[in-house]
Amino acid sequence: MSTAVLVLENGQVFRGLPYGAVGETLGEAVFCTAMTGYQETLTDPSYHRQIVVATAPQIGNTGWNDEDGESTGSAGSDSATGDSGKIWVAGYAIRNPTRRVSNWRATTSLEDELRRQQIVGIAGIDTRTVVRILRDHGSMRAGVFSGAALAPDDELVARVRNQPPMKGADLAGEVTTEASYEVSPSSADRETRFTVAAIDLGIKTNTPRMFAQRGVRVHVLPSNSGLDAITALNPDGVFLSNGPGDPATADTAVELTRGVLGEGLPLFGICFGNQILGRALGRDTYKMKFGHRGINIPVIDHTTGKVSITAQNHGFALEGEAGEEFDTDFGRARVSHVCANDGTVEGVELLSGQAFSVQYHPEAAAGPHDAAYLFDKFVTLLEGDRARGTSA
């Protein structure tokens, strides 16, 4: 029987069976606590260059379909045809692969899709032990090896340690769209009320869809777009998407955000976009020990005191404390949201109301819908900005 191994940077080796493609893959080992939604996880561009360890004991039950992918518009996918199925994870590690696909929407099995897209994975390992190691010691460089890529353990450990770390990685440019595209409200949604310029740092398919459902036309722009590309659209607001990598490397996006704030345009950011807005407001970021990845993470909104259960995927975070207020070049700001589990900053906002962001994923693909109101909040901000402009 063929063998596959998961090798961690600390020298620990886990032996199992090949799952998906056979070969070698390198990346940062992280774990995801979601019990469902593996297709959305695998196609999320924010997971670029990461080997995802699933905490759910059985994976693959619902197979793979042509509708639930989240990578439309990203490099290598076809936004014109609606192909949202590009897998962005570097590798996948699971315990028990399902023996049979059981879902009427499935077009193939998960393993067959992993093979088709040449994603190297491993099955049959004790993922509980791997997750405990990552929680205790932090996310670390790793590799999955099978077939001709197998070698003595010390050689595989050396390969793992020779790859670059996630800290300092500039990855948004590797997942962004190669050309701008537009997502408009359909007749099934409502008439177009506003236009938003969205900076694609690794945007997910459901985000423009959520805007369209609220009457917002979205122009998705590459991550290296300048302020002129935004103002040429005469947008009502600007959106900063999720994405992979170290926000400390995203100087272009930070300067663009400062330009947007200087123009007085309403701004909304999520995940990586939260970190970009925070850095534009003068805050620092840091690499978390093992990050937040899953669809069951509680966040406290300090304006209302309400707790939302959220979908998250980030290994970096903003410096700050719950409710902290601070001065910026664009007026006073504050930390608006924190994680109920560990106090991590989960949102910042300008007190003027011009800009706000959250660290989690309100588009909920996959995940709970507790935070969908944030899209409504942004539309309300656009309405107020337009009303002020009209009265002026």
Domains of the chain: 4-162 (3.50.30.20), 172-391 (3.40.50.880)
Report pLDDT digits (tens) over 114-131: 999 999 999 999 999 999
361 is catalytic: yes
Please report which confidence band the pLDDT of residue 380 belongs to, taking 50, 70 and 90 as the band edges.
very high
Comparing 15 with 390, the larger pLDDT belongs to: 15
Q: What is the pLDDT of residue 317?
A: 98
Assess contact for 212 and 185: CB atoms under 8 A: yes
**Binding-site sequence positions:** 46, 243, 245, 272, 275, 313, 315-316
CA distances from 14 to 11, 28, 138 (A): 10, 16, 17
Read off the pLDDT of residues 58-112 as tens digits, 9 standing for 90 and up.
999 999 999 999 986 544 444 433 457 999 999 999 999 999 999 999 999 999 9
Percent of the chain with pLDDT over 70: 95
pLDDT confidence band for 371 (50 / 70 / 90)? confident
Is position 70 annotated as part of the catalytic site? no
Residue 348 has pLDDT above 80, yes or no: yes
pLDDT confidence band for 387 (50 / 70 / 90) = confident
Residue-level pLDDT at 78: 45
pLDDT of residue 92: 98
- Burial label, 255 (beta-carbon count in 10 A; 0-12, 13-18, 19+): middle
Position 190 scores a pLDDT of 72
- pLDDT (tens digit per residue) in 12-68: 999 999 999 999 999 999 999 999 999 999 999 999 999 999 999 999 999 999 999
Our CA dihedral for 176, 181, 187, 191, rounded to 10 degrees, sits at: 100
End-to-end CA, the chain? 74
Cβ contacts of residue 288 below 8 Å, gap of 6+? 314, 315, 316, 317, 344
Angle at 44 between CA 38 and CA 48, to 5 degrees: 115
Q: What is the pLDDT of residues 232-257, one digit of tens each?
A: 999 999 999 999 999 999 999 999 99
Pairing relationship of beta strands 194-199 and 181-183 according to DSSP bridges: unpaired
User: Is 339 among the residues known to form the active site?
Assistant: no
Give the model's pLDDT for residue 1: 67
pLDDT score recorded for residue 82: 46
The predicted structure's pLDDT at residue 369: 82
pLDDT digits (tens, 9 = 90+) for 296-321: 999 999 989 999 999 999 999 999 99
Question: Which residues pair with residue 294 across a beta bridge?
Answer: 312
pLDDT of residue 368: 78
Q: What is the mean pLDDT of the chain?
A: 94
Catalytic residue among 40, 174, 346, 363: 363
pLDDT digits (tens, 9 = 90+) for 264-275: 999 999 999 999
The predicted pLDDT at position 77 comes to: 45
Q: Which residues contribute to the annotated binding site for L-glutamine?
A: 46, 243, 245, 272, 275, 313, 315-316
User: How much is the pLDDT for 76?
Assistant: 43
Total count of residues recorded for the chain:
392
For 118-174, what is each residue's pLDDT tens digit? 999 999 999 999 999 999 999 999 999 999 999 999 999 999 999 999 999 999 999
Question: Which residue of the set 70, 271, 314, 339 is catalytic?
Answer: 271
Sign (positive or negative) of CA dihedral 29, 176, 81, 22: negative
Element (H, E) at 121: strand 120-123
The reported pLDDT for the residue numbered 54 is: 98
The pLDDT assigned to 390 comes to 63
Residue 389 pLDDT? 72
The pTM of this model reads 0.94
How high is the pLDDT of residue 204? 94
